[in-house]
């Protein structure tokens, strides 16, 4: 709005100046005179070709009217000319004019106007003073030259953006953000329960998981003004500019409330105070202080909801994360198998696929990828297809695109010697065979000796499911898999190479984590040594701190070395035992360069995977497994053994979706109801409240003119303040056990639901509450859990509406 006014005022000033210029141009008395050189004017005076002359003394200008027209600069028939002369030559010019035998000549001396003189003196001062006042006002409200004004971009509901339908793989985050949309659309439902919408929502997670996409979806769904800004936009070189921008941002938001503010990468401005080199950054800390005050300070914030996204929640200031500022912190993690399938389906829209392209198979072999990675895979596949002039994306294009995203493009132009190619084949074959011979690690999906990025080849394992934890044997199997390349080099060529550097680095990280973080070493014990501190510039040390003695450090190094040596030995023994398989695999790799699981299954058909017996010596001596007892079975395992359908898992997300769908139908019924008839929102569909007919007439009331007294069916038998039931209610099944609500299984009669404290004119309220599934509720109640009565409580005898049971509570 301010920019529009500034442009309007600037346009008006420009029009005024142009008008004044044109007016002075067209009203000038020298408009018809041709400007010529002084020499041309002198020639005309010497040739006595001047009929009239005028000397403008103040302007040092000579105007001549000629007797005979002349040609000047390709212009013919010029009769009036004008020229300039120096001030010191004024006597000479006067003598020339006098001697030119002109019919008439005159001298014009311009006199100063007092008003014009004052205006020429005061106007520059007024302009300078006005500019200073303008910049000072901008400095107080938005900073000089606009430096302190907010750089937030306002997105309206007319701005094309995303919706929740474009978000997949983050159902829990979407469900949490749906509350913001519902609150902005219908706040009365929350206010009736005394609930307050979260004033701040923080989205955190790894890069590429969809945090900014979720914010864009909220902008598309909310239907209110949405301000988007980056955390780095608050940080400037000048102290106070960032704080000014925060004030200006919240001022705009309050003027357009209810609205949503989204700050992307908030860690740029929200880092813990006092951190960094030299004890902090004064400008950033002042900006953070202003942000804290605006979020939850002494002043009223209004209906402004703040959303933010970051990859580093651990470096944020604790005051920023407390309730009242960021009430809700939503993790946005990498999608699971189902989420990856949904993400691929969204990114696959508008792309033609060949019959052999299988997105579900692609989702299985892309475990750990974020939504951005999956979108990049499909985009790379489309680009590869377009590069060769194809019209459909094939399974091979998806395979190649996956490899490009993981390892980079092929280095086809690199010249590799035959010896190096042979070493690479045996190296990758050693990884593949070491993993294939163990049962505690996933089978290798693909092995290749094609150079990609910084690698000369790779062997890739694919998880069958999304695992959240690993046992000791599984981690040790990964060490064996990592040592397979070096063991193959030693077994075949007798000389290790530098190609195993990345394998050793990865194996060392796993082994050290087994000893210092996971407590898997009996010698070191279940103690965590070292603490990851994250950012080395946070003022709290570097990547880790030493929290143990030198003796313990030596013991840790000994255990790590033991793990790596044992994994190296196990891999060497596997390759030595299956040397024939290793040679055939290397030969096949040199021939085809890439082998996938079907080819590997044929090559290794006679290999029986073995399990790892023991990682550390006497690891089970102190805490052995109880061999005579088996763990209990899960409900799903029991159902599968019985041949029954597995029980449905309870999901708050599904229950929330069902509730939103019910509310949507109720709102549609309200809109479609006749004018004057209200359908109460919040009651289950099909539940009819008790009609209100006002105060009943007296019991002895009769219809005027009817004569005989008849019993009044509408009159109550008790006090006038009590209401009697309308006899027509029987026709709707109220109180009739045979006429039940088929949609919920509950009886229509609302007599058993009432609310304490309601007046005689208020309709009874049906209790609809959140209910956990039976398997999450205690079987026995404690006496101290009994709730004391307080004002506003429902009647103790009231039952929860069975029609609003959570979706996850209905189990097979």
Positions annotated as catalytic residues are 428
Asked if 679 and 670 count as a contact pair (C-beta separation under 8 A), the reply is yes
Please name which of 752, 764, 762, 761 lies closest in space to residue 802, comparing C-alpha atoms: 752
> d(Cα 64, Cα 50) in Å, to the nearest integer?
6
HEC states along 132-191?
HHHHHHHHHHCCHHHCCCCCCEEECCCCCCCCHHHCCCCHHHHHHHHHHHHHHHCCHHHH
**Cβ neighbours, 10 Å, residue 499:** 18
Is 212 annotated in a binding site? The answer is yes
Asked if 320 and 288 count as a contact pair (C-beta separation under 8 A), the reply is yes
Phi, psi of 344 (to 5 degrees): -65, -35
Is 211 annotated in a binding site? The answer is yes
> d(Cα 151, Cα 532) in Å, to the nearest integer?
36
CA distances from 59 to 85, 157, 627 (A): 9, 63, 117
User: Which H or E run includes 84?
Assistant: strand 75-84
- Give the position of tokens 């696959």: 348
What is the DSSP-derived secondary structure letter of residue 632? Answer: P
Asked if 105 and 98 count as a contact pair (C-beta separation under 8 A), the reply is yes
| Cis preceding-peptide flag for 79 (omega within 30 of 0) | no
CA distances from 804 to 383, 509, 689, 807, 808 (A): 50, 51, 16, 9, 11
> d(Cα 259, Cα 222) in Å, to the nearest integer?
9
Is 427 annotated in a binding site? The answer is yes
What is the DSSP-derived secondary structure letter of residue 522? Answer: T
Partners of 34 in the β-ladder: 81
The structure tokens listed for 201 are: 């929502």
Is 206 annotated in a binding site? The answer is yes
Phi, psi of 106 (to 5 degrees): -145, 165
Give residues with Cβ within 8 angstroms of 54, minimum separation 6.
62, 63, 105, 106, 107, 108
Is 27 annotated in a binding site? The answer is no
DSSP characters over 32-70 = TPEE--HHHHHHHHHTT-EEEEEEETTTTEEEEEEEEEE
Asked if 749 and 801 count as a contact pair (C-beta separation under 8 A), the reply is no
Is 208 annotated in a binding site? The answer is yes
Q: To 5 degrees, how large is the angle CA 431–CA 436–CA 442?
A: 95
> d(Cα 809, Cα 805) in Å, to the nearest integer?
7
Phi, psi of 558 (to 5 degrees): -65, -45
Give residues with Cβ within 8 angstroms of 579, minimum separation 6.
491
Is 455 annotated in a binding site? The answer is no
Is 205 annotated in a binding site? The answer is yes
Please name which of 319, 313, 159 lies closest in space to residue 228, comparing C-alpha atoms: 159
Asked if 441 and 484 count as a contact pair (C-beta separation under 8 A), the reply is no
Is 548 annotated in a binding site? The answer is no
Partners of 444 in the β-ladder: 461
Partners of 596 in the β-ladder: 446
Is 568 annotated in a binding site? The answer is no
Q: Using alpha carbons only, how large is the chain's radius of gyration in Å?
A: 43
Is 503 annotated in a binding site? The answer is yes
Partners of 52 in the β-ladder: 65, 104
Burial track 279-309 (b if 16+ CB lie within 10 A, e otherwise): ebbebbbbbbbbbbbbbbeeeebebbbbbbb
The structure tokens listed for 387 are: 């590069």
Give residues with Cβ within 8 angstroms of 553, minimum separation 6.
546
> d(Cα 567, Cα 710) in Å, to the nearest integer?
100
> d(Cα 780, Cα 777) in Å, to the nearest integer?
9
Query: Which residues are annotated binding-site positions?
Result: 205-212, 427, 431, 503
Which residues are annotated as part of the binding site for Zn(2+)? 427, 431, 503
């Amino acid at each position: 709005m301010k920019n529009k006014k500034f442009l309007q005022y600037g346009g008006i000033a420009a029009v005024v100046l142009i008008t004044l210029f044109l007016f002075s141009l067209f009203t000038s008395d020298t408009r018809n005179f041709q400007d010529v050189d002084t020499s041309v004017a002198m020639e005309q005076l010497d040739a006595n070709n001047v009929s009239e002359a005028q000397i403008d003394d103040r302007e040092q200008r000579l105007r001549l009217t000629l007797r005979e027209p002349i040609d000047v600069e390709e212009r013919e028939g010029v009769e009036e000319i004008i020229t300039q002369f120096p001030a010191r030559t004024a006597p000479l010019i006067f003598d020339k004019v006098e001697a030119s035998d002109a019919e008439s000549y005159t001298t014009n001396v311009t006199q100063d106007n007092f008003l014009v003189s004052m205006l020429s003196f005061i106007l520059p001062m007024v302009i300078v003073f006005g500019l200073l006042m303008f910049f000072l006002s901008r400095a107080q409200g938005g900073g000089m030259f606009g430096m302190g004004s907010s750089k937030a971009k306002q997105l309206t509901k007319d701005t094309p953006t995303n919706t929740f339908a474009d978000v997949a793989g983050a159902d829990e985050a979407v469900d949490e953000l749906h509350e913001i949309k519902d609150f902005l659309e219908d706040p009365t439902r929350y206010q009736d329960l005394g609930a307050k919408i979260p004033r701040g929502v923080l989205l955190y997670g790894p890069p590429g998981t969809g945090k900014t996409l979720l914010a864009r979806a909220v902008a598309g769904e909310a239907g209110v003004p949405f301000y988007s800004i980056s955390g780095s936009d608050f940080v400037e070189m000048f102290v106070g500019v960032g704080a000014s921008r925060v004030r200006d941002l919240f001022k705009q938001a309050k003027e357009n409330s209810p609205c949503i503010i989204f700050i992307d990468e908030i860690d740029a401005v929200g880092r813990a105070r006092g951190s960094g080199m030299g004890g902090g950054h004064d400008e950033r800390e002042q900006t953070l202080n202003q942000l804290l005050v605006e979020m939850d300070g002494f002043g009223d914030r209004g209906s402004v909801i703040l959303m933010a996204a970051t990859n580093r929640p651990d470096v944020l200031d604790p005051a920023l994360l407390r309730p009242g500022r960021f009430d809700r912190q939503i993790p946005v993690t990498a999608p699971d198998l189902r989420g990856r399938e949904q993400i691929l389906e969204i990114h696959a829209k508008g792309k033609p696929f060949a019959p052999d392209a299988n997105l579900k198979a692609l989702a299985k072999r892309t475990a750990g990828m974020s939504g951005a990675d999956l979108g990049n895979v499909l985009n790379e596949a489309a680009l590869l297809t377009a590069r060769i002039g194809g019209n459909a994306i094939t399974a091979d294009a998806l395979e190649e695109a996956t490899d490009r995203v993981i390892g980079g493009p092929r280095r086809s132009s690199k010249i590799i010697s035959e010896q190096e190619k042979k070493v690479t084949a045996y190296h990758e074959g050693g990884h593949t065979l070491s993993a294939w011979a163990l049962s505690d690690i996933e089978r290798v999906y693909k092995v290749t000796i094609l150079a990609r990025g910084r690698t000369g080849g790779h062997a890739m394992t694919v998880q069958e499911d999304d695992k959240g934890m690993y046992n000791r044997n599984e981690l040790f199997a990964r060490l064996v898999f990592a040592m397979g390349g070096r063991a193959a080099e030693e077994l075949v060529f007798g000389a290790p190479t530098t190609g195993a550097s990345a394998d050793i680095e990865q194996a060392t990280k796993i082994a050290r984590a087994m000893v210092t973080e996971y407590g898997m070493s009996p010698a070191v014990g279940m103690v965590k040594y070292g603490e990851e501190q994250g950012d080395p510039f946070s003022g709290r040390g570097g990547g880790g701190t030493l929290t143990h003695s030198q003796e313990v450090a030596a013991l840790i190094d000994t255990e790590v070395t033991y793990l790596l040596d044992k994994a190296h030995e196990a891999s060497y023994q596997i390759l030595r035992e299956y040397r024939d398989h290793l040679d055939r695999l290397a030969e096949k790799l040199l021939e085809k360069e890439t082998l996938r699981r079907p080819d590997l299954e044929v090559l290794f058909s006679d290999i029986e995977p073995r399990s790892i017996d023991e990682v550390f010596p006497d690891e089970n001596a102190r805490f052995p497994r109880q061999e005579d007892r088996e763990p209990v079975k899960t409900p799903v395992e029991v159902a599968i053994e019985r041949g029954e359908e597995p029980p449905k898992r309870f999901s708050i997300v599904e229950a929330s979706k069902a509730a939103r769908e019910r509310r949507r139908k109720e709102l549609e019924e309200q809109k479609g109801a006749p004018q004057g008839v209200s359908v109460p929102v919040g009651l289950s569909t099909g539940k009819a409240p008790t009609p209100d007919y006002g105060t009943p007439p007296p019991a002895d009331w009769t219809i005027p003119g009817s004569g005989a007294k008849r019993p009044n069916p509408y009159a109550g038998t008790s006090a006038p303040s009590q209401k009697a039931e309308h006899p027509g209610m029987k026709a709707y099944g109220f109180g009739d056990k045979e006429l039940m609500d088929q949609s919920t299984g509950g009886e229509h009669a609302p007599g058993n639901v009432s609310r304490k404290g309601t007046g005689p004119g208020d309709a009874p309220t049906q209790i609809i509450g959140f209910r956990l599934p039976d398997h999450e509720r205690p079987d026995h109640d404690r006496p101290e859990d009994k709730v004391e009565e307080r004002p506003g409580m429902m009647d103790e005898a009231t039952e929860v509406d069975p029609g609003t049971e959570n979706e996850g509570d209905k189990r097979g």
